[in-house]
Amino acid sequence: MAKYVFVTGGVVSALGKGIASASLGNLLKARGLKVVLQKFDPYLNVDPGTMSPFQHGEVFVLDDGAECDLDLGHYERFTDTNLAQIHNLTCGRVYETILAKERKGEYLGRTVQVIPHVTDEIKRRILLPAQSDPTVDVVITEIGGTVGDIESLPFLEAIRQFRLESEPEDSASLHLTLVPYIAAAGEIKTKPTQHSVRELRSIGIQPDFLMCRTSQPIGEEARRKIALFCNLPYANVIDGRDVASIYEVPLTMHEQDFDRLLCKRLGLVTPEPDLTEWRRMVGLILNPPDRVRIAIVGKYIELKDAYKSISEAFIHAGIPNHAGVDQVWIDSESLEAPDVGDARLREIFAGCHGILVPGGFGDRGIPGKVNAIRFAREQGIPFLGICLGLQCAMIEIGRDVVGLERAGSAEFDPGTPHPVIHLMEKQKGIVNLGGTMRLGAYPCQIASDTLAHRCYGRAEISERHRHRYEVNNDYRDVFTRAGVVFSGTSPDGQLVEIMELPGHPFFIAVQFHPELKSRPRRPHPLFRAFVAAALGHRDVASGQTHEKAAG
Ligand code: GLN
């Protein structure tokens, strides 16, 4: 039987439960265990796909098309494992399942209630990952939200019941809290942690481990106090101090023996992990021999979580290039032509050696993205366009190179005389907006002798998607004649997946989201090549030569 670890959080939100869970997964995997992570979110949306990135950060997409919480991105990156829809549950989905059963008459004669019906459904979902893959040794389940929220109560109650109904060594509970540093008093405070654990215990869950997030080292005295008041062994209080890179977290946990203690608690006999490679990688992330600066022109830039996977993909891509990537976030609305001309763009992009235009929805910020792409194209600055970034590149090249006046996308310019981007055939007639985009992994065929082929080093790839609009095939010929190469398409040739401009040092745009498949140990080939191109561009611009590690 698999073992279960439940991760909860208290005091405040945004403590990094996702990264703590992912780091634990990383360590257990390094100890030779097969680990799977799942996230339970207490909100009532069936999935986060219908939420604004400002509300919820990035919507992460899995191979099977699940639109899910961005923590699943951390899980995949830290454990290098592909997850699926079953690994993200929301309260909305729990209710959706129960209400569908109720309408079918499956509860006939009974009152449907939170206990037992909702909690039973949650318990069924706790078990599902290991049931669908019997080789799984450990299931780590992270509960979104903060202990004390009304919304998370059914989840915590289900965990309490689960623990009561199984053997003590079958599961462990990890609770994350905040240990704030009060500058005026010059000391850290343990009271919020004590209160949070009291709250959790009042629900019937005694944590086995505490991870105390803190900006200052906790120190022995405070740790003893926490252990005593929270009713757990001293060694099980983990110092979760702030670190410079999230990829350090597994190392700081391991230094404190956390993985060994957890395995002991669960009755798992495993060898010590070999973290040499991970340590080397973290060393390069923290102290890169070189640096390069890349501009990201987006519209959700106030909330960095909205582009989480892109930020991580750049960190990964820096590793083989032996360079740290400084990400410069530029609000696309601040780049709108004609007010912003080349002289101003030169100032704005000064010191940036690559420009990325990420995905997005709606018309806000489009003119600025188009202007940035034109600048990158004309100035020979390496460019990577992602999803909406490809669509904007089609608009820009359509207008300025092909000569299609007011070329546009049907998404935000329905009256355009030249809809170079239009609604996909399969999207026509769709009225429900939740979960109905073109979602998940699809194969793509890459033409030989193209930049895309040089980046990937092969002809067949699979990438994850999340879009409704696509390149209008009626315009492919005129674009091709104007010098654009549609270097990647769906295997039947019908959908454009990659476009590029051969005369340019590095100009490539993709309809999919490469960032979703980048892993620290396996940086994505497009990001890796883009960073290498940015380093090359910097060196050409400054007249140096650079030894490229990528390629
Ligand atoms: N809004 C565009 C579409 O739906 C692009 C989506 C995206 O960038 N993820 O096709």
Candidates 369, 409, 469: which one to mutate for ligand 1, based on the most atoms within 8 Å of Cβ? 469
CATH number of the domain bearing residue 480: 3.40.50.880
Shared domain for 57 and 140, answered yes or no, is yes
Shared domain for 120 and 243, answered yes or no, is yes
Cα 301 to Cα 280: distance, rounded to the nearest angstrom: 31
The verdict on the CB of residue 466 being under 6 Å from ligand 1 is yes
The verdict on the CB of residue 411 being under 6 Å from ligand 1 is yes
The atom number, within ligand 1, closest to the CA of 362 reads 1
Cα 394 to Cα 221: distance, rounded to the nearest angstrom: 62
pLDDT number for residue 548: 46
pTM: 0.94
> pLDDT tens digit string along 318-335?
999 999 999 999 999 999
In a domain, 428, yes or no: no
Shared domain for 165 and 186, answered yes or no, is yes
Q: Which two tokens stand for residue 547?
A: 């030894």
Q: Which of 279, 304, 321 is the last residue of a domain?
A: 279
- Cross-strand bridge partners of residue 423: 469
Alpha carbon of 466 to ligand 1 centroid (Å)? 7
Domain tally for the chain?
Answer: 2
The verdict on the CB of residue 388 being under 6 Å from ligand 1 is yes
Q: Which of 257, 279, 301 is the last residue of a domain?
A: 279
The atom number, within ligand 1, closest to the CA of 361 reads 1
Shared domain for 153 and 181, answered yes or no, is yes
Sign (positive/negative) of CA torsion 379, 385, 391, 394? positive
Q: Which residue has the tokens 């086995």?
A: 208
- Residues in CB range of 116: below 8 A, 6 or more apart: none
- Residue bearing the CA closest to ligand 1, atom 8: 359
pLDDT number for residue 4: 98
- Residue bearing the CA closest to ligand 1, atom 1: 361
- In 105-246, alpha helices (H): 119-132, 153-165, 191-202, 219-230
Alpha carbon of 388 to ligand 1 centroid (Å)? 5
Q: Residue 474: is it exposed, middle or buried by C-beta count within 10 angstroms (0-12/13-18/19+)?
A: exposed
- Residue bearing the CA closest to ligand 1, atom 6: 467
Range of the domain at 519: 288-418+469-488+495-542
Q: Which of 227, 256, 279 is the last residue of a domain?
A: 279
Spans in the chain with pLDDT lower than 50: 546-551
> pLDDT tens digit string along 372-398?
999 999 999 999 999 999 999 999 999
Q: Enumerate the active-site residues.
A: 387, 513, 515
The verdict on the CB of residue 360 being under 6 Å from ligand 1 is yes
